[in-house]
Structure 1
Amino acid sequence: MDEQDTAAILSDVLDTGSTDEETSTTGSSGLKDEPEVGVRSVRPPFACTHPVSVEPVLFLSMFSLTLQAPLSTQYLWDRISEDLGYNGSRTDECGNSSVRPDPLQKEVETLTAHWNLYLSLGGFSLSLLVVPLLGSWSDMAGRRPVFIIPNLGMALQAIVYLVVMYLKLPVAYFLLGRMLSGLLGDFNSILAGCFAYIADVSDRRSRTFRVAVLEACLGLSGMLASIIGGQWRRAQGYINPFWLVLATSLASALYSYLLVPESVTKDPSARLFTSRHHKAVWHLYSTGGSVGETGGRLHRCKLWLYTLCFFVVVAVHFGSRELYVLYELSSPLCWGPALIGYGSAAQHLAYLSSLLGLKVMQRCLQDSWVALVGLVSNITGLVVFSVADTTQLMFTGYGLCFLFMAATPVLRSKLSKLVDPSEQGALFASVACVESLCFLVGSSVFNSLYPATLHFMKGFPFLFAAIILLIPTGIISTLECLDQRRHRRDSTSS
């Protein structure tokens, strides 16, 4: 059996039970005002009388990811503390800022940060290669496989973590789980597939808000998972919450298989293991795609600049996010599982507040200015985090970040509008590749920076994050000013 037959069989298995393909120009949104090439709705095995989209897929997958992320960090902290004989949660230094920090605490923080880095490197370095492969393949083979395969990989990761916890194996075995998930695409493939699906079924006018709704699903699921995870871990430990991680990953895969209709025409000859998918991504950015070939050099530059903005914003977001739990666990905050859960929930609540703010601001502001408001919100919150030494100040920082997620849906939408409808799969494959790189670079930089700056300023990584966010702020404002000036010149000349 050759490579082409294997890919075809895999695609047929994932689409078993599909009925006759019906051309659909409205998709699940019902808002289409422009035909898009190759968009079809293929019914899943169980027909649904109501429009079904990908929001539940992303909700369940994000719930699984958010439930396990802070718990795995806390588990690493506890295991490393146990190995080193550190019991800092019951020392006096947490309530007294004048007490010199325990050297063992610094060692525990450093080792935990390093293990977080190793796990991120192990997973995302593999997904960096796999995500663009799956994303571009989905443009021909359909979106549903990109929802199912990575969810199965996340389920395998949860199984490995459970085995480590049950048998008290060395934490190095966590790397095996991360690598299995990375080889099957990891969460970034699901994220890329969902946004590509929304681009398939939405029009240009509604796309920014539809993308924001999808990101709000990330926030809602993350908020619920954070609250549940913190309380559950305090009551029953680590093992039972990780069973829920496994269950939600499997539920997301099952939902995708049974209920999500296909949004693109499936090409029976589509091959998974081919260099064509990576070449499609490179062609998009080297020429600007079909639109760039006619739109000229400026169009290609905008594609690169908005991608750079997206990279910086997402790298800061995910890089700094991994430090919140470490920052809160250690002195002078010394939060327990409940407060850590509430803090993570407050962070994810910003997804919903950002959605509401985006909807309101779109009534009077262009999308670019909405993104700038979101970046200012993020910068001010990070500055407060950098000096937070009390619980009240830490939650003040979370409050100031209430619009910090308004920038990413605008950037995704702008990138989507820069390419032809037939190139959405290649675009979101490239965005997924950039997002994987964001995880890799953000995790590497911030998990290395945190232990290196503990001796002079514990919150320096947050201050550093606020400073580099000035880069996308300047780029977006400059491009918007240039666009407005060009529109005024064109309207005057006409």
Structure 2
Amino acid sequence: MPGSSQSSSESTPLLAHPADQLQQQPPAGPDGASASSTSGWLSWRKPGIVLLLPPMFVHYIAQIMIQISLLYLVLMVACYRIKSPDSSTIFSTEPDDQNCNDPAVQALSAFWLSTLSVVTGITELVVTPIVGFISDRYGRNIIMGMNAVGGIVYSVGIIALAHFGGDMWVLILILSAQALLGGVAANEIFGSAYIADITDKKSRATYFTMLESCMSVALMLGPLAAGALSKINLLVVYYVAVVLEAVVFLYVVFILPESLKKPSGPTANGPAGGSITTTKPNLKQTITGVIKNYSDSIGYISRFLTSNSHTTSLRIMLLCTFLLSMSATGFMSIVVLYTNLKFGWDELSLASFISMVSASKLLMQTLVLPVLFRMVSRQPKAEDRAFWELIFIRSAYLGYAASIVVTAFITEGWQMIFVAILDTIVIVARPVTRSIFSRLVSVEEQGRLFSSLSVLQQLASILASFLFGFIYSATVSTMANFTMLLIGSLMTATFIATLFCNHHDFAGHAEEVVAVEPAEEDPTPAA
């Protein structure tokens, strides 16, 4: 991959005030960290991918464990409601206590899961612009700290619900509390913005891929951990999650350096060479900033659709991002119930499948994607690089569509291995798409950019949860695979839409044609 040296167009913010350009940023190191030194015993604490990945990995593990367990928790609650209506216990924490692969249980579970997803999705939709505002104003680390606290609140709430009892509406309140502290969207905002702070635009896709690799390892280990712990007792999963999130919080507070650099240089009213005096905004400024940030997030979406500066291909890519989020959310929300109904899978069986998929994606990320990205980066013309990026995205969409359609027709659980193979290629789409979009704005606005994309993805998730969950609930007794076929058709339409994209339109957003670098000056970090 390209080296760490930056061109002037890459290191200078697109919208920076001329006075801010007088002070140059220090060059990035091999791992994307700033080359500037820090005195004292904290000299090793430089923003970089090496210090970023550990808390992200542990946090991913904890989040995946509680998300997988939540699906089966709702399934067991539905079992108790239908098969033990007179029981005073809301659900059993012991494994294999009820036979849940019954159409009536499946329908009730799908209804509850859809309701939970819609309510928490709307909460995250409101909170996400605020998260982007906090990220750009106060720093990246506070977002990760809030999210870790949200994971602790969620896990402790589930433990209390199991011990003291309650209704499904209590579970909705617990999930809403987690969403108010950032929710799932904060993971992507934090990781994407942090990487944007420490990398140049040319190499950014590589570091996004490293973050995806970190998540793939977590997806490989997290479900297995949840499945194994649930065989002991379902609540053990949540006790372990509390410990992991506490570790993440302490790491962010005491170890992880902040990547967002405060601007310095001559002020409008001060002497040349003076530092900008920064003050904390008061309450009125903060509220105004939050409202403005929310409107800006919606504005990003509307400008992509209406601005003359954005091509039809970019609008199509934005639509494809929306449809991919819909398809992925719909598939993941249904596959748990569908495999339980059709194959009798329990949490450990599903965890084994998810781990197999994650292992395949990890091999793709570590062995195949670095080679592909190196090949693309060596193309001397921006048009050639954009051409290959579009080929990668199309291949990912087609493979994912095929995996969903195959799921609808297989008859034995072992045949899901073919789904895992086809599903592997979708891992290419996210880092390439995010890299394309991230070239559109300056470093200072990366948090807002990714929060806007998260708003779009959350709208897609809310719509998918409402649509596919209730469709599955209504059709599971008559045609169980109907929803899978519908999602597969939607993903096929997404692939067809990319055929109308022109790679020249994407090349127009690469600010310059980057010359081929010699091999010896091309330090590709290990993924």
Q: TM-score with structure 1 length normalisation?
A: 0.81
Q: Name the CA shift for 1:268/1:63 in 2 (closer, same or farther; >3 Å).
A: farther
Match of 1:76 in 2: 74
What is the deviation of 1:168? Answer: 3.6
Map 1:33-72 onto structure 2 (within 5 A): 48=44, 51=48, 52-72=50-70
What is the deviation of 1:128? Answer: 0.4
Match of 1:280 in 2: 296
Match of 2:379 in 1: none
Question: 1:259 aligned to 2:258?
Answer: no
Asked if structure 1 preserves the Cα contact closer than 8 Å seen for 2:156 and 2:242, the reply is: yes
Match of 1:451 in 2: 473
CA distance in 1, matches of 2:153, 2:336: 25
1:101-151 deviations in Å (ceiling 9; x for gaps): x9x921211111111112212222111011111113311221111111122
Match of 1:176 among 170, 173, 186: 173
CA distance in 2, matches of 1:318, 1:302: 24
Question: 1:114 aligned to 2:111?
Answer: yes
CA distance in 2, matches of 1:276, 1:49: 34
Asked if structure 1 preserves the Cα contact closer than 8 Å seen for 2:151 and 2:245, the reply is: yes
CA distance in 1, matches of 2:432, 2:29: 21
Match of 2:242 in 1: 246
1:280-320 deviations in Å (ceiling 9; x for gaps): 3244445569xx9xxx7242655443222212112211221
Map 1:297-446 onto structure 2 (within 5 A): 297-299=308-310, 301-330=312-341, 332-356=342-366, 357-362=368-373, 363=375, 366-446=388-468
CA distance in 2, matches of 1:43, 1:322: 49
Amino acid at match of 2:331: S
CA distance in 1, matches of 2:249, 2:316: 35
Q: Name the CA shift for 1:47/1:110 in 2 (closer, same or farther; >3 Å).
A: farther
Amino acid at match of 2:370: K
* Larger displacement relative to structure 2 (165-174 or 396-405): 165-174
CA distance in 1, matches of 2:394, 2:205: 15
Match of 2:131 among 119, 130, 134: 134
Q: Name the CA shift for 1:415/1:486 in 2 (closer, same or farther; >3 Å).
A: closer
Amino acid at match of 1:180: A
Q: Name the CA shift for 1:447/1:25 in 2 (closer, same or farther; >3 Å).
A: farther
What is the deviation of 1:23? Answer: 7.8
CA distance in 1, matches of 2:402, 2:241: 33
CA RMSD, Structure 1 to Structure 2 (Å): 3.4
Asked if structure 2 preserves the Cα contact closer than 8 Å seen for 1:44 and 1:262, the reply is: no
Q: Name the CA shift for 1:302/1:43 in 2 (closer, same or farther; >3 Å).
A: farther
Number of corresponding residues: 445
Asked if structure 2 preserves the Cα contact closer than 8 Å seen for 1:140 and 1:265, the reply is: no
What is the deviation of 1:373? Answer: 1.4
Asked if structure 2 preserves the Cα contact closer than 8 Å seen for 1:315 and 1:438, the reply is: yes
1:140-164 deviations in Å (ceiling 9; x for gaps): 2211111111221121111111111
* Larger displacement relative to structure 2 (202-211 or 49-58): 49-58
What is the deviation of 1:261? Answer: 1.6
CA distance in 2, matches of 1:435, 1:485: 24
Percent of matched pairs sharing the same residue: 20
Asked if structure 2 preserves the Cα contact closer than 8 Å seen for 1:120 and 1:440, the reply is: yes
What is the deviation of 1:420? Answer: 3.1
CA distance in 2, matches of 1:485, 1:273: 38
Asked if structure 2 preserves the Cα contact closer than 8 Å seen for 1:41 and 1:261, the reply is: no
1:75-124 deviations in Å (ceiling 9; x for gaps): 2222221232279x799xx9xxxxxxx9x921211111111112212222
Asked if structure 1 preserves the Cα contact closer than 8 Å seen for 2:53 and 2:214, the reply is: yes
CA distance in 2, matches of 1:112, 1:329: 12
Match of 1:10 in 2: none
SS of match in other structure, 2:287: coil
CA distance in 1, matches of 2:434, 2:39: 27
Amino acid at match of 1:421: V
SS of match in other structure, 1:299: coil
Match of 2:17 in 1: none
1:434-483 deviations in Å (ceiling 9; x for gaps): 23223322222221121222244312222222221234323433223554
What is the deviation of 1:395? Answer: 2.4
Q: Name the CA shift for 1:29/1:273 in 2 (closer, same or farther; >3 Å).
A: farther
Structure 2 unmatched ranges of 5 or more:
1-22, 85-91, 263-277, 377-386, 514-527
CA distance in 2, matches of 1:436, 1:453: 25
What is the deviation of 1:229? Answer: 1.0
SS of match in other structure, 2:259: strand
Asked if structure 2 preserves the Cα contact closer than 8 Å seen for 1:132 and 1:278, the reply is: yes
1:375-427 deviations in Å (ceiling 9; x for gaps): 12111111110112211222221222121221111111111012233322221
What is the deviation of 1:24? Answer: 5.0
Match of 2:7 in 1: none
Asked if structure 2 preserves the Cα contact closer than 8 Å seen for 1:164 and 1:171, the reply is: no
Q: Name the CA shift for 1:106/1:415 in 2 (closer, same or farther; >3 Å).
A: same
Asked if structure 1 preserves the Cα contact closer than 8 Å seen for 2:331 and 2:404, the reply is: no
SS of match in other structure, 1:469: helix
Amino acid at match of 1:348: S
Q: Name the CA shift for 1:239/1:486 in 2 (closer, same or farther; >3 Å).
A: closer
SS of match in other structure, 2:310: helix
Q: Name the CA shift for 1:218/1:486 in 2 (closer, same or farther; >3 Å).
A: closer
Amino acid at match of 2:430: T
Amino acid at match of 1:318: T
CA distance in 1, matches of 2:111, 2:505: 44
CA distance in 1, matches of 2:39, 2:479: 56
Asked if structure 2 preserves the Cα contact closer than 8 Å seen for 1:285 and 1:300, the reply is: no
Asked if structure 1 preserves the Cα contact closer than 8 Å seen for 2:45 and 2:256, the reply is: no
Asked if structure 2 preserves the Cα contact closer than 8 Å seen for 1:68 and 1:245, the reply is: yes
* Larger displacement relative to structure 2 (309-318 or 42-51): 42-51
Asked if structure 1 preserves the Cα contact closer than 8 Å seen for 2:59 and 2:245, the reply is: yes
